[in-house]
Structure 1
Amino acid sequence: MTASTLSTATPKVTITSDFWNTYRQLIVKEVLPYQWAVMNDEADINITDEKGGENPDSKNSHAVANLKIAAGQMTGHHFGFPFQDTDVYKWLEAASYSFSYQPNPDLKQITDNLIDLIADAQEDDGYLSTFFQIDAPKRRFKRLQQSHELYTMGHYIEAGVAYHQATGNEKALTIAIKMADCIDANFGPADGKIHAADGHPEIELALAKLFEVTHEQRYLDLAHYFLVNRGVDPEFYDRQLEADGFDNDIIPNMHGVTHTYYQVDQPLLTQKDAKGHAVRVVYLCTGMAHVARLTGDKDLLAACERLWDSIVHRRMYVTGGIGSTNVGEAFTYDYDLPNETMYAETCASVGLTFFAKQMLQNEAKGEYGDIIEKELFNGALSGISLDGKHFFYVNPLTADPKFQQNPSKAHIMSQRQDWFGCACCPSNIARLVSSIDQYVYTVTDKAILTHQFIANKATFDQGLEIEQTSNFPWDNHIHYAVTNPNKVQTTLGIRIPSWSRSDFTVKVNGSSQTLPVNQGFIYLDVTGDLTVDLTLDFSIRELQANTAVAEDAGKVAIQRGPMVYCVEQADNPENLWNYRLAADANLQYHFNANILNGVGEITAQAAVRQTPQTDALYSNYQPTTWQPTSLTLVPYYAWANREDGQMRVWLSKENA
């Protein structure tokens, strides 16, 4: 039999990981029904303002009602943000992915009916944004700085593509095509068209996805135009605002927001630092990386690499969170990573995962897989509770219930909430978890890259199969069995995480091997069947921040494998800031099946500060005395699933 070469066709991946299947079943059994009930105003919930203030309607979402009003099935005014439709679209996308591992005829009937509703709400020319259709039809595309029109349609395009791929529903794809055609008819470089894009990037990545399904070159060209033209005319939004009226904000108090917030202060291709609204940055970068790959535009890819470097190496929290301030939900400056006033929005961590995935498809670089892993097990996963019905908008590294009494910290919540007035995060984390099978492998024309240690069975082109078994993230042994009946010739690249780069072992067909690490991967030639046994270094690590990070001076964060850990008041008496780890903390790991659905716990030798009992606010200095004690740490993703209380990631350290 003559050997052949593997193609880049997408593999079929079945997740077998106990850890992730628990979450994927949670999506199907709890998350999707709960979110559908919320969006249909059928759930008994409290809706919280994501900034910690009061919400104008504390019980209802109205997201589906807005679509029904636009479709003529109900009467009334639009409710909520102008992008309220996207809550429904991301939910639809999550449901679409769930069908690949859990067919559900009842859910399929709901989603088919939803597609019919969306089609009825869509205008004949393809336009669909219910706020403008219901309450402001004459203002279409006239206030792009804050309208979210292309952002909204972009999220449907993503959902429509996913639903079509999952179910074959042609109407779902037709809606997306009509939207893209509407946008193409109104935007672009030609005379008479609008020479700018939405203030919130999203359409760029959506058009790239639509191009890959339809192969319609206009969609890729338009995505490319939106990117290379962004920031070329920084005053465009200002002129639109003046023409539409400065006092006619669609979102209150947005007309005075700087160009930097929208990433239009300078041409995108010249930007060196991640700045402005964090979610917008990573959505923009996701589209840019995707379009760079599809077009071969090296300037776009170089811009992606610069912004990646800025985010990951100077502006990212140890958990993978991004966004240092609640003012604009934004990046600030290098190494400004405060723990008590940070933002780290769930959507930003989800978006950084998208960005990393696209970068990995451009280049086989292990760091991109490292960040996917960091987000999946820490920064993004923290956004959803263990019951699937409570969510974080902000993912802090320090929390205290008393923060709610301080307006500058009120966005830092110590318990996940039922829902939010701006509910972008709940359905965003749902669509990420339900599509986790798309994040295990990246297939290039040179190799199969296996970069996530998520147990699975995968079938590739020409009958090649890979089965990965492990108890990751709790255990450090990963076994690969490659079955290759047709003797396909390819290369298998296995990511060696940065946290294990200095200590790992590999056996191939039972024989120990010493293999070089090339940009974070080891490589094996595949010509027939083989087995690989990888053992990673799960030593508990004490991490310190760059000395430029003022907030973390003299502190350490604890990590084991991919998991960042924290101390929580549920396990340790308050006040947590009075503890410090011992110089020899004697960190010990054990798995505790009795808490938090089963997690690995770490115990540490520590000391607690002893202070004189006094009512005085200030008193003369006395040397600190320390009482030996111990601390219990749990994985960061699992905090705030028990009683309300304090939490800390960064801990003081003796002699640090």
Structure 2
Amino acid sequence: MGQALGKVQAKPVSLKQVHITDHFWNYYIDLVRDVVVPYQWDAINDRIEGAERSGAVSNFKIAAGLEKGDFYGFVFQDTDVAKWLEAVAYLLVTKRDDALEQLADEMIDIIGKAQQPSGYLNTYFTIKEPGKKWTNLTECHELYSAGHMIEAGVAYYNATGKRNLLDIVCRIADDIAVVFGDGPGQIAGYDGHQEVELALVKLYEAMGNRKYLDISSYFIDKRGQQPSFFEAEADARGRSTHWNNNKIHIDPEYFQTHRPVREQEAAVGHAVRVVYMLAGMADVAKETGDESLIEACRRLWDNIASKQMYITGGIGSMAHGEAFSFDYDLPNDTVYSETCASIGLIFFAHRMLQLEPNSRYADVMERALYNTVLAGMSRDGRHFFYVNPLEVTPDVCEGRNKNFNHVKPVRQEWFGCACCPPNIARLLASLGGYMYSTNGNTIYSHLYIGGEVELSLDGTKVKLKQHSSLPWEGTARFEISLAKPAAFTLALRIPGWASEASVVVNGEAYALTDKVVDGYARIERVWTSGDQLELVLAMPILRVRSHPLVKQNAGKVALQRGPLVYCLEEADNGAQLQQLLLPQDAKLEDAYEESLIGGIHVIKAEGSRLQFEQWGTQLYRTDTEAAMEPASLAFIPYYAWANRGKGEMTVWVKERF
């Protein structure tokens, strides 16, 4: 183990302590409760006409002996049920729903019947290949699937106090602890898709059983050690692959096994696996005080956030392998930017905030949340993006060019590999758990979302009521309720997008000179019940330009206001968006349009459009110049695009000097 962490860690304020009453976010939370979770239940039960079949629930029924049939779907299809149950659990925390709880209980009973006596639970290997379990960890996601069910079990226990699913997942984890390790007859390996690492830490926190933390640490420590476990495993099964009839080729970087995790210098390979791995590493570091792990987390965070992240908080630029490519390679039209990857980035950021509260983590968490995550779901809650492009031309991504086939110009009803929709649901349902943390007598406010939070500082009960005008305006007002006066610090994040920040306490300006530490304005005083604090953040329209090494954005600019990135869409600006130019000195005006896409702010500017009416049929010419004509440009928030039918979209626009 490394040296213990020098700083006292912060603790997240749990979902149970927070009640969100925010106009902007309540729409999405209510959407998850009223539409998304019921829709996804229908989807995993194969009740949605025209949507891709799921088979997820029927697989459990077949494995439980309740139905006859064959396994359907991907080898990790069980996770759709697990993530649905986890989202249900978070919804039950914030609002009791007897009918929904009964539905979940009935599903959990089926899961219990599908579990084998050893504790093993995986419907694919139970139904289809019972003799091959634990023989292809490289590709078959057994531990990944177990991890999602463990997360669901912990969440459901925390929400309801019921142990039915918790006991199931404890048996899963107990079986894993028997199967894996360096002892005689054990498997000295780990999963191809990281996830179980963070899940086991959650189970450790719920149960207090050190065994679960130790096996999580084992998987992290073992990863990347030589000789290669995946190569040895492949040799043992004749190098067969799960996915086709070819022999397996193992790319260590794709699986993050090219080096031990503490020695990795840059994020490489499958993007979701990277951030799930890092979330697990941060969790283990938090519990064990392993400074070498947290240093590796910092190093890989810096690489992702400063060299491999899109302006929208998306990560993973390559469709091939759903992966990171190399530093500063951020194509906008062939981008992958899987919704799950941004959700995993939020998981990682949230954990880093507990290890060392610093606004750089919360800024990215906010960026990914408001942009990529929200863009991943339509306003109706029934259509979803798996891939989140920053530039779309429908004729191209629906044409013969296979390089663009992964990009969709409209959201889909469901996916055969449906990891993203339930991931969105569980994140939004648990949003209250990402807003605050405490460290000693300091309360950190990471996200400005209206609502109430009740917590205890050194035995003093504190209630904060937050009124937020984000994302449209930059004010957050806090009302403090206390039984008696108490001294504590309220640490308010100053976002990177705020050009100025000011604080007013009980109507009087509070000087922030020397009070901003690691991006948080620390308001230290003896508070009395009824005190009010207002944070005012300037929200100018920002022109954002990329690092010069991002070749795809050379000569282009993007617009951002507050946490929201903006884009041009064909519905407002006509087709051929590549012909539009935004003058460097153009006046940018913000206007609220209540009737547009649920009520949004639109940025308007006078720009130019290239005209090629005299071009003719020649592909290349030297005897003509493109003419310019005035064009009124309208930018909408990126999260709102593709809610008005199929059309072109671009985040980056050419800048006219």
**TM-score normalised by the chain length of structure 1:** 0.95
Residue matched to 2:223: 230
Task: Confirm or deny that 1:404 pairs with 2:416.
Answer: no
Q: Name the CA distance, whole Å, in 2 between partners of 1:168 and 1:251.
A: 44
Match of 2:497 among 499, 521, 529: 499
Question: Deviation digits for residues 284-330 of structure 1, max 9, x if unmatched?
Answer: 00011111011100011011001100100100000000001000000
More deviation, 255-264/329-338: 255-264
Q: Give the C-alpha shift of residue 582 in structure 1.
A: 1.5
Residue matched to 1:642: 644
Question: Deviation digits for residues 362-384 of structure 1, max 9, x if unmatched?
Answer: 00101111011101100111111
Question: Deviation digits for residues 581-606 of structure 1, max 9, x if unmatched?
Answer: 02222111011111111111111111
Task: Confirm or deny that 1:523 pairs with 2:522.
Answer: yes
Q: Name the CA distance, whole Å, in 2 between partners of 1:86 and 1:27.
A: 18
Q: Name the CA distance, whole Å, in 2 between partners of 1:465 and 1:118.
A: 40
Opposite residue 449 of structure 1, the aligned amino acid is Y
Residue matched to 2:422: 427
Q: Name the CA distance, whole Å, in 2 between partners of 1:654 and 1:569.
A: 20
More deviation, 178-187/191-200: 191-200
Match of 2:20 among 12, 15, 20: 15
Q: Name the CA distance, whole Å, in 2 between partners of 1:583 and 1:555.
A: 10
Opposite residue 504 of structure 1, the aligned amino acid is A
Task: Confirm or deny that 1:347 pairs with 2:340.
Answer: yes
Seen in structure 2, the aligned counterparts of structure 1 residues 225 and 648 have a Cα distance that, compared at 3 Å, is same
Residue matched to 1:466: 464
More deviation, 567-576/95-104: 95-104
Question: Deviation digits for residues 504-537 of structure 1, max 9, x if unmatched?
Answer: 1111221112213211101122432232111111
Question: Deviation digits for residues 382-414 of structure 1, max 9, x if unmatched?
Answer: 111100000000000001111121210111111
Q: Give the C-alpha shift of residue 546 in structure 1.
A: 0.2
Residue matched to 2:656: 654
Aligned residues of 1:96 and 1:162 also touching (Cα < 8 A): yes
Q: Name the CA distance, whole Å, in 1 between partners of 2:241 and 2:474.
A: 57
Aligned residues of 1:485 and 1:528 also touching (Cα < 8 A): no
1:162-201 alignment runs, 5 A limit: 162-201=155-194
Q: Name the CA distance, whole Å, in 2 between partners of 1:517 and 1:317.
A: 27
Seen in structure 2, the aligned counterparts of structure 1 residues 234 and 200 have a Cα distance that, compared at 3 Å, is farther
Seen in structure 2, the aligned counterparts of structure 1 residues 528 and 653 have a Cα distance that, compared at 3 Å, is same
SS at match of 2:596: coil
Q: Give the C-alpha shift of residue 103 in structure 1.
A: 2.0
RMSD: 1.5
Q: Give the C-alpha shift of residue 641 in structure 1.
A: 0.6
Question: Deviation digits for residues 138-181 of structure 1, max 9, x if unmatched?
Answer: 11111110110000000000001001111111111101110110
Aligned residues of 1:440 and 1:450 also touching (Cα < 8 A): yes
Question: Deviation digits for residues 395-450 of structure 1, max 9, x if unmatched?
Answer: 00001111121210111111000011111000001100110100110122352100
Q: Name the CA distance, whole Å, in 1 between partners of 2:154 and 2:641.
A: 35
Q: Give the C-alpha shift of residue 110 in structure 1.
A: 0.5
Aligned residues of 2:121 and 2:172 also touching (Cα < 8 A): yes
Seen in structure 2, the aligned counterparts of structure 1 residues 253 and 510 have a Cα distance that, compared at 3 Å, is farther
Q: Name the CA distance, whole Å, in 2 between partners of 1:428 and 1:143.
A: 25
Q: Name the CA distance, whole Å, in 2 between partners of 1:431 and 1:348.
A: 14
Residue matched to 2:587: 586
Aligned residues of 1:189 and 1:225 also touching (Cα < 8 A): no
Residue matched to 1:51: none
Question: Deviation digits for residues 541-572 of structure 1, max 9, x if unmatched?
Answer: 00000000000000001000000000000111
Aligned residues of 2:590 and 2:603 also touching (Cα < 8 A): yes
Seen in structure 2, the aligned counterparts of structure 1 residues 570 and 117 have a Cα distance that, compared at 3 Å, is same
Opposite residue 380 of structure 2, the aligned amino acid is D
Q: Name the CA distance, whole Å, in 1 between partners of 2:552 and 2:494.
A: 30
More deviation, 93-102/548-557: 93-102
SS at match of 2:403: coil
Opposite residue 492 of structure 1, the aligned amino acid is L
Q: Name the CA distance, whole Å, in 1 between partners of 2:100 and 2:474.
A: 37
Q: Give the C-alpha shift of residue 112 in structure 1.
A: 0.6
Q: Name the CA distance, whole Å, in 1 between partners of 2:72 and 2:622.
A: 57
Q: Give the C-alpha shift of residue 621 in structure 1.
A: 4.6
Q: Name the CA distance, whole Å, in 1 between partners of 2:12 and 2:92.
A: 23
Q: Give the C-alpha shift of residue 250 in structure 1.
A: 4.7
Q: Give the C-alpha shift of residue 490 in structure 1.
A: 2.5
Seen in structure 2, the aligned counterparts of structure 1 residues 142 and 546 have a Cα distance that, compared at 3 Å, is same
Residue matched to 1:32: 37
Gaps of 5+ in 2: 1-9
More deviation, 365-374/612-621: 612-621
Q: Give the C-alpha shift of residue 100 in structure 1.
A: 2.2
1:111-190 alignment runs, 5 A limit: 111-190=104-183
Residue matched to 1:306: 299
Q: Name the CA distance, whole Å, in 2 between partners of 1:281 and 1:252.
A: 28
Seen in structure 2, the aligned counterparts of structure 1 residues 30 and 235 have a Cα distance that, compared at 3 Å, is same
1:370-385 alignment runs, 5 A limit: 370-385=363-378
Aligned residues of 1:161 and 1:209 also touching (Cα < 8 A): yes
SS at match of 1:198: coil
Q: Give the C-alpha shift of residue 620 in structure 1.
A: 2.5
Q: Give the C-alpha shift of residue 491 in structure 1.
A: 1.7
Match of 2:620 among 603, 618, 636: 618
Residue matched to 1:53: none
Opposite residue 130 of structure 1, the aligned amino acid is T
Task: Confirm or deny that 1:45 pairs with 2:50.
Answer: yes
Q: Name the CA distance, whole Å, in 2 between partners of 1:424 and 1:486.
A: 48
1:200-215 alignment runs, 5 A limit: 200-215=193-208
**TM-score normalised by the chain length of structure 2:** 0.95
Q: Name the CA distance, whole Å, in 2 between partners of 1:12 and 1:156.
A: 24
SS at match of 1:464: strand
Residue matched to 1:360: 353
Seen in structure 2, the aligned counterparts of structure 1 residues 252 and 16 have a Cα distance that, compared at 3 Å, is farther
SS at match of 2:478: strand
Q: Name the CA distance, whole Å, in 1 between partners of 2:392 and 2:434.
A: 31
Q: Name the CA distance, whole Å, in 1 between partners of 2:60 and 2:648.
A: 41
SS at match of 2:242: coil
SS at match of 2:335: coil
Aligned residues of 2:409 and 2:642 also touching (Cα < 8 A): yes
Seen in structure 2, the aligned counterparts of structure 1 residues 7 and 200 have a Cα distance that, compared at 3 Å, is closer
